[in-house]
Amino acid sequence: MKLAYLLINFSSVIVPFIFSFHSKIKFNKEYRYFWPANLAVALFFIVWDVLFTGLKVWGFNPKYTTGLYIFNLPVEEILFFICIPYACVFSYHCIRKFYLKSNTYTLESSVTPILILMLLSLATIFIDRLYTSVTFIFLAGSLFYLKYILKVRWLGGFFISYSFLLLPFLLVNGILTGTFLEEPIVWYDNTNNIGIRILTIPFEDIFYGMLLVLLNIALYNLLKDNAFKKTQHR
């Protein structure tokens, strides 16, 4: 089915997009922060994607794509870096707005260093596996920079939000990697990852997804904070 990947992107974003204009949510008011953040992060991931596709770390099944390519990537793959972050940042916005009323600093103080240590340990052990090592090093470095250099206070809220997002994220990734389908839409060379799968999903995808969402939220929050500081100084 040539429209499969396109329909996955559309299905992921349509409900968040519609509810973005709800009077109690008003995520559309956040567009001036979200879109610059998203486009910058998308560019980073597209460059990464082009390199790894060229190295055959992963690839795409033409049976499930429209045949339109940009930078040697299916157009659906480009849209993935827009649609999935949109849905995730929208969810993060809603969770913070309606549910995260308490301070989550204690959570981030305990989880962040443990996660960084685990990621760096696995990256070292599997340094010859490109997908594993690059993903884990980037995520560990991002968490370290946010926690100990920028000293952000929202990582606890991010971890809580991502734990809720894991189920739909794994559902989308499950379909992309072949769950419920005869063949995967996105295939992986197992010599470049640990080889552990959750159903059809490479273990690394959990942390690749975390990095994608984290960087979008980090830039989104940074732009919001900068805008707030400017209004305070007027």
Q: What value does the mean pLDDT take over residues 6-24?
A: 97
Whole-number pLDDT of residue 104: 65
What is the amino acid identity at position 122? L
For the whole model, what pTM was predicted? 0.94
Whole-number pLDDT of residue 100: 74
Lowest mean pLDDT among 13-22, 43-52, 94-103, 143-152: 94-103
pLDDT classification of 228: cutoffs 50, 70, 90: low
The values of phi and psi at residue 191, to 5°, are: -75, -10
Q: Which two tokens stand for residue 44?
A: 């980073």
Rounded CA-CA distance 132/210 in Å is: 14
